[in-house]
Structures are given as C-alpha cells and as structure tokens.
Structure 1
Amino acid sequence: RDLVEEHGLKFGVERDSWRMIPPRLRSAEVRVIARGEPPLPGEDARIIEHYREGAEHGQAVFMVSEGQLLCEKIPPRRGARGRDVLDNPIEPPPGADFELAAGPGTRLSDDGLKLYAETGGAVSRIKDAWTVVPFSQYFAPGTLPRKVNAEGAVRVTGSVPPGHQIVAAHHVEIIGDVTAASVAAGGALHIHGRIVSCTGTRVQCGGDLHVEGIEKSSVRAGGSIYLGKEARDSDLIAGGGVYGANGNAISIVGGRVAAVRGVEITTLGAQPAAVTTLLLGAPLPLRNRYDHAASEIIALVNKFGAVNNMLLPLHKQLVAKQLPREKAPLYRRLRLARDGLAERIRVARATVAKLKAALAFTARETTAVVKGAAFPGAAVRIGTQRYRVEKRLKNCVFRPAPEGDFLEVSERK
C-alpha cells in the first residue's frame, strides 16, 4: 500500500497483491502490483476495387467506361487508447497508410481517395498503380488476324486456330481453346477452354493463368496456374503455385510441374503408371543451377579418378626411383591436372552447399497437397528433398523434413 501511494499508482492496481509477499525474503522476488491497459492498434488502409464487382473467377479483362469509379481507398482507422498505471493515456499505433496511385488513363479525386477512369478501355495494374489501357476484341476465326501485337488488353471470342500468334502488353482473355498457337500476355491470361498441342509454340503470361485444361503443351506463368480440370502430359512452370480454380478437383497426369510455391490437387499421376514430376519450392533457374553444379561434381570426380589411376603407377615408380626419364614430363602434367581437378571439386562442392542452403530456405514452408490419390510413377521434389511414389497414397501431404534427403509424407487432416 505504501508503494502504491509512494509511486502514485492509480490504474490497474491489484489491491491485495501485497498479501502475497512473504515477510522474509531469501532471494529477489518479483510481484506485479499494477497492470496498465495496452492500446488497441488501428486498422490499416485498404483498397476496394469496384471494377471487379460481379467478376467471374479468373476473369482477366475488365472493361470500363470514361468516368467510371475504379477504386476507392478506405483510410486507416484510429485504434483505442490505452492507460498506464499512472492513469495517463497511451496513444494507439496508427494503422499503415499508403497513397492510391493513378497510372495512365486514370485520375484521382481531390481528396486522393477515389480513382476514376479518364478514358474507356481495360483496367490493368502495373506495380502499385492502376491504368486504363487500349482494348482490342477479335472474333475467331472471322476477324482474328494471323498475328496480333497489341499494346493494351486483348479479348478473343472463339478459339485460337493453329499457327496464330497473339502478343499483348497487358491481359488476354480467350473465350475458347488454344491449339498449336502462341499466346503471350504481359498480365494475366484467362483461357476459358483448353490449351492443346502447344509444345513447339509459346503460351505464357506475366500474371496468373486461368485455364480449363492443358494437354501436351508447355506453359509458363509469372503468377499461379489455376486449372479447371486436368493437365495431361504437359510442362507447367509457375512463379506461384498450381491450384484448382474455384476449389475444383484437378489432376496432374504425366509431364512436369515446376512451381515456386506448392500445389493443391486431387490426383497425381495415373494407373497404369504415368511419369509425373513435381518440382516445388524454388524458382526453376535456381533449381537448374543446383542440378547442373551437382552433376558437374560427378563429372569432375570421374575425371579425377581417371587421372589418378594414370598417375598412381608412375608415382610408385618415382618412389622406387625407377621412373624412366622420358616419363617425367607426363608425371608432372598428370600431377598438375590432378591438383587442378581437386581444387575445382572443392570449389564446386562449396557452390553446391550454398545452392542447397538457398533451396532449403525457399522451400521451407512449401507443401504438395493431394486430396485424392497419388499413383506409382509420380515423383515429388521440394527443395532438394525428394519422394518417389511406390504404392498408391490417399489424401496425403508432402512437406520438407527437418533433415535428410527425403520428404515427409503424412495423412491430410
């Protein structure tokens, strides 16, 4: 009680706490006699994208008209004050704030809270700024030229026939299939149908890819790939992950998936066995560099062994002082070659160790979720750890193990 009065404690005092203090203290003892009330943090500023209202899942092209409200910023909200034990107010930390950025074709309101379209076109986002870009629409095969090179967004009503090429700086939407054709989008790519037989052509985008199905094709997305049904005998490269659109049940049968993040699928592989590989948890260039460095070590070790086998008999002759004079130059060359290979092996192993650590770091939280079945013939690599499916697995999760070369596999909960 004396402490309370002496220090002027007015808030959060536990009046009976002094009773818990023993009369004799044999060591230091900490007792809390008053507790303040921490402030409640405020809400961060956020953006409402009005142009997306009523959009379909995966919709890439959003048409707007002049003067249309695109985005609205909700300012940060102040939190609740706290109080210290002296009954002084404690101001809450402010919510995070940012500026609503206007790109070409848009304008901000005077208060900086609303963003309007200054012209008609398609909405695109470049970094943190919204823009309105020119929009081109074609009807396939009627008005679709063999080559399209657009500075804005493109929509094709119908399927893209073989041999056609579409290049757009922003988003592309195709209301149909893409068969043996090239499509390159700087933004998102939404194909309502399937991608078929696009192995010798280019199908890629800088954002997310939404597609119903992929068959015997090579595709690359800077973001994630969202499938409607199945990818079969195809090569998929994603800067994000691979998932089912709208939570659909999807299958990966044959081919390869290389994704920086994880996958969430229903079926992996097929019966009879279809060779299906998942490479997850790292950008493909980093993984390729690691694989190349690891294979280089094997080649160097083999060369080292061959040189050493040639050097060993000569070295024995040298020790026995029986080495012919004419073989002395060969002995020196082999000795230099062996020492050089030993140094190259040392450097290569150090490089592999660094790359392995980088792969382990990027893949530490990556998982492969298989909601249905994983069939024999499928292989999963997350970082540098691997797992080959030898028998059918049901409802499982592949994840990195704390150590070792093999993944952990557990039942999905």
Structure 2
Amino acid sequence: MGDVSERYDIQITKDGMTATLVEKTRKEDELETENATTVEQLLEFIKEQGVVYGVQEQQVISYIEDPQTNSLPIVVAEGKPPINGEKAYLLPVQLKTEQKEQVLGNQTVDLKQVIDIPTVSEGDLVGEKIEATAGIPGMNVLGEKVEQKPGKDIQIRPGKNTRISEDGLKLFSLVDGQVSVEKKLIHVYPNYEVNGDVNMKTGNISFVGNVTIRGNVPTGFSVSAKGDIRIYGTVEGAILEAGGSIFVTAGIVAQDSGNIKAGQDLHTTFVNQANVNVGGDLHVGQAILHSRCSVGGTIFCEKGKGSIVGGQLSAAKGIHAVEIGNSMHSKTALFIGVDQTTLEKEKTLQEAVKKASDELEKLEKLLNAFAAKEKAGIALAPNERIMKLRVRNTIVQTEQTLQDAKEELEDMIENKEDNEFGTLTVKKTIFPNVSVTFGKYRRKIKSPHQYVKFALVDGEIKLLPM
C-alpha cells in the first residue's frame, strides 16, 4: 500500500459530500520505476482514507484500465445529500368555478386558465392545512449521517369571513361569496360587479371585496379592491390596485400611463407599454412589450408566442419565456434576484416588528402596574378598570400584529436565502441587445442563442443548455 499512498491522495470537500482522487507531484525518475496499481489496491487505499460511502467503483476501474482517457483528478465517491422537509402550507380547496369562452377575432379563446372565479356558499370548505414533513437524512462519503432540515410548521388563521375547524386544519366560509387566496390566508369576499365597461356612469371603483368587470377599463379610470380584480375586457392606461390577484382576459394596453399593482399574482394575455408591480407571479399568455414590470416571484411568458420585447423586467425568482428580444435588436433589460421593492418591504417589516415589540413592552408594564395595585389591596378607580380592559384588548391585537410581521419577515428572509438568484430560461431564441443582470453581475447578449438557461454560478452569469 506504500506505493499507492506515495502516488495518490484523496481530497474530501468541506461538506464531506465528495471525494476526489488526485495524483501527487513526483520526480521524473519515480515515474519511470513505478509499479502498476490494481483496482483492488486503489479501492483499499480509498477505504483507508475513511471514504466508505458512495464509492464509484466503476470510475476507479475505468481509470485503471485506461488512465490516458480517464485522467486524474476523478471523483471516486459521492455522498447522499439530505432531503429537507417540506413546509406546512394552506391549500385552497378546488371549488366550483365560473368558466367562460370569448371570441377574439376569428379565434375562440378558452378563459379557463385566465378567468377562474371560485364561488362558495356559507359552510363550504375553502382550504386545509397540509402538514410539514420531516425530510430524510443524508450520508457523507465518510459514512457520517447528515441531518436534514425539517419543514417549518405554520398555524393557519382565519381570513375575512372564514372560520377554522376545532382541529386547526380546515377553513370554512362564513358567507356566500368569492374566494381570494393569499399565501397563508384565504378570504371570502362579497363581489361587486360591473356588467359592462367602467365609464363616467360607474365612476372610479373602490370596494372592500372582489371586483368583477365584464367589459373594459379605459384610460384615466381607477379600480381598487381589497380582494381580487377580474376584468373580462381590455385595460388601457388605468390604475388597478388589488390586495389579492388581478385577472385580465383581453390584455393590457397602457400606452405608458396608468399603473397595475397586485398584492398576489397577475394573469393576462399580453402586456403592452404598461407599469406593473406584482407581489407574487406574473403569468402572461402571449407577449410583454416595452413595459416596466417588477415582480416579487417569477415571470412566466411561455404560452402561445411567449415573447418579451423591450422595456425593463425585474423578478426575484426567475424569468421564463419562449423568446426574448427580437430581430430588430430592441433594447431589453432583465433583472433577476431580490429587487428594490422587496428590500424596502423587508425594511418596513423590520420597523413594524420593532414598533410592535416596543408597544407591547409598554402595555405590559402598564398592565403589571394595575396588577400590583390590586395585589396591594387598592381598588382600581372606574376609569382605571376601563383602562385595564382596553390595555388587555390592545395587547391581544398588538401580539397578533407582531406575530404577523415576524412570520412575514421570516418567510421573506428564508425565501431570499433559498432563492437569492433564480434562473432565466429561453425555450427558443434570445436576441442581441438583451442585458441580463443578477445582482451586481451583468451580461449583455451579443449574438443569438437558442434553448438556453442563464444562472449565476460562482460569481459569473453562465449560459447553460436547456
């Protein structure tokens, strides 16, 4: 075994998941007099170095049989990574929906994927908690167990007009209405419906529930909803703001005016010269043209033509399209990673946590003062008793505010760590004059590429085959 240890070395990565066989630096006269190493000797040497799991015997055999073709270094063992547990989450129940078809030109469009309006009755099940999973431990090449990270649990809370079952696992509607889904909350809102276009007769719309418009929203008008906004026609240079998601059937043609803002997702057929700000994902069927889009999740433009041309698009988790840019080399800027809006929201949440914590501390001191007075046998005055009840109620509300802010902040930080930079995928062609930016790294496309994926690898934007 002496000859083997003099010729070879085993390098194990810091995490213990990969072992690599390397050749030591030797003098020329040692190379001329060395004896051939057998497969058995090399496998025994690997074992003696403590590598006992995931040994790639075929790699060793191939190297011994043909060292010229299979030159060193070679990976001779790989560990099994742990499988982390899945987070608990709130799953909306599949409900009866209103589905329609509309004729655009000579083409009949099935709106099932764009307009999906879940309607519920009082007492209907609207969501249920899917429990977190424990995950599966892994093993490194040294035969040591690698602990997995268990999935994070959540406590579901009632949204607007919903109640939780006694076991804390199901959510039921308290009213007849339409469902609006957030990440950890499901609301049932009443619905305000406009049976046609928004115009001078309807005026601007602001509603605490969901809004459905069975026509167009022209330039200069605004529609605001606490829940979702669903529009069966076209949106021009209007202002739309939804606490939930926005669904636009016939597309958005904004002419560089107006603003579209959704707390959750935006689903539409096309986006042309629009300003879009979405907290969740942006789903576009045909094209995004010369628009400014800031997205907290992922941009999907993969159905139909799936074209992104011009403008500036920012997405925290990734962008997926069929084509990006065009043969005219229109300037198109893509930004992937944590955007400024997300950073600002994180700062706001941090401030909200501090404010709620400070307020809670003051309230608890005041409550303790009342308790100490009563313990000393001093009766509280009528106004003090009222104040004590108010303090208790305020403490409950402040604790809930603090918990909500902490959970949202934890999720944001966790998502930032898990998805610091996503990927850009192009199913067909990406054209010249498209710039791709991952954080502080930027790459400008100078020639067409097809069927490719862009990712940030070791501080460099790599172009990888699909």
Question: What is the TM-score when the length of structure 2 is the normalising length?
Answer: 0.55
- Distance, in Å, in 1 between the alignment partners of 2:174 and 2:311 is 46
Q: What residue is the counterpart of 1:149 in the other structure?
A: 206
Q: What residue is the counterpart of 1:407 in the other structure?
A: 461
Asked whether the equivalents of residues 196 and 216 of structure 1 are also in contact (C-alpha less than 8 Å), the reply is yes
Counting matched residue pairs gives 292
Q: What residue is the counterpart of 2:276 in the other structure?
A: 219
Q: What residue is the counterpart of 1:366 in the other structure?
A: 422
Q: 1:169 to 1:179 in 2, by over 3 A?
A: same
Q: 1:283 to 1:164 in 2, by over 3 A?
A: same
- Distance, in Å, in 2 between the alignment partners of 1:411 and 1:396 is 5
Q: Which amino acid aligns with 1:65?
A: S
Q: 1:78 to 1:381 in 2, by over 3 A?
A: closer
* Cα offset, 1:185, TM superposition: 0.9
Q: 1:366 to 1:73 in 2, by over 3 A?
A: closer
Equivalent position SS for 1:223: coil
* Cα offset, 1:130, TM superposition: 2.4
- Distance, in Å, in 2 between the alignment partners of 1:46 and 1:364 is 22
2:93 to 25, 47, 50: 50
Q: Where in structure 2 are the equivalents of 1:12-411 lying within 5 Å?
A: 47-52=90-95, 56-57=112-113, 59=115, 61-73=117-129, 98-125=154-181, 128-141=184-197, 145-244=202-301, 248-284=304-340, 365-403=421-459, 407-411=461-465
Deviations 1:73-119 (A, max 9, x none): 4668999xxxxxxxxxxxxx999765443233122344444322111
Q: 1:111 to 1:260 in 2, by over 3 A?
A: closer
- Distance, in Å, in 2 between the alignment partners of 1:73 and 1:286 is 27
* Cα offset, 1:179, TM superposition: 1.1
Deviations 1:266-292 (A, max 9, x none): 11100111111111112135899xxxx
Q: Which amino acid aligns with 1:135?
A: N
- Distance, in Å, in 2 between the alignment partners of 1:402 and 1:95 is 28
Deviations 1:129-170 (A, max 9, x none): 322222111122278712001111111112212222101111
* Cα offset, 1:60, TM superposition: 6.2
Asked whether the equivalents of residues 280 and 363 of structure 1 are also in contact (C-alpha less than 8 Å), the reply is no
Asked whether the equivalents of residues 224 and 241 of structure 2 are also in contact (C-alpha less than 8 Å), the reply is yes
Asked whether the equivalents of residues 263 and 278 of structure 2 are also in contact (C-alpha less than 8 Å), the reply is yes
Q: Which amino acid aligns with 1:105?
A: N
Q: Which amino acid aligns with 1:208?
A: D
* Cα offset, 1:57, TM superposition: 3.4
Larger mean CA deviation between 193-202 and 361-370 belongs to: 361-370
Q: Percent sequence identity over matched residues?
A: 27
Note the aligned Cα RMSD (angstroms).
Answer: 3.8
* Cα offset, 1:173, TM superposition: 0.8
Asked whether the equivalents of residues 177 and 190 of structure 2 are also in contact (C-alpha less than 8 Å), the reply is yes
* Cα offset, 1:230, TM superposition: 0.3
Larger mean CA deviation between 130-139 and 111-120 belongs to: 111-120
Q: Which amino acid aligns with 2:211?
A: V
Deviations 1:191-239 (A, max 9, x none): 1111102522111111111110011111111111111010111111111
Which consecutive residues of structure 1, in runs of 5 or more, have no partner in the other structure? 1-27, 33-40, 80-92, 289-359
- Distance, in Å, in 2 between the alignment partners of 1:411 and 1:44 is 31
Q: Which amino acid aligns with 1:147?
A: N
Equivalent position SS for 2:123: coil
- Distance, in Å, in 1 between the alignment partners of 2:166 and 2:253 is 49
Which consecutive residues of structure 2, in runs of 5 or more, have no partner in the other structure? 1-47, 53-83, 99-111, 136-148, 345-415
Asked whether the equivalents of residues 61 and 155 of structure 1 are also in contact (C-alpha less than 8 Å), the reply is no
Equivalent position SS for 1:162: coil
Equivalent position SS for 2:175: coil
Asked whether the equivalents of residues 363 and 383 of structure 1 are also in contact (C-alpha less than 8 Å), the reply is no
Q: What residue is the counterpart of 2:29 in the other structure?
A: none
Q: 1:65 to 1:368 in 2, by over 3 A?
A: same
